[in-house]
Amino acid sequence: MCARYTLTKKEKDLLKAYQVKLPSPFEPNYNLSPTQEMYPCR
């Protein structure tokens, strides 16, 4: 079994906190697999 991740933040919150360029359309994802594109941050 592989690990799963979640991306629950809203686009505006990520842009405000990290000043990054996000893909369009951006949608939260509650079941990211390791092979999907994601935005790691600490």
The answer to whether 39 and 22 are in contact (CB under 8 A) is yes
Q: How far is CA 20 from the centre of its chain?
A: 11
pTM above 0.75, yes or no: no
Q: Is the pLDDT of residue 5 over 80?
A: yes
Look at residue 23 in the predicted model and tell me its pLDDT.
79
Tally helices (H) and strands (E) across the chain. Answer: 1, 2
Q: Is the pLDDT of residue 42 over 70?
A: no
Phi-psi region of 9 (alpha: psi -120 to 50; beta: other; left: phi over 0): beta
Please provide residue 29's backbone torsions phi and psi, each rounded to the nearest 5 degrees.
-135, 125
Q: pLDDT digits over 19-40, tens only?
A: 888 878 888 888 888 888 877 7
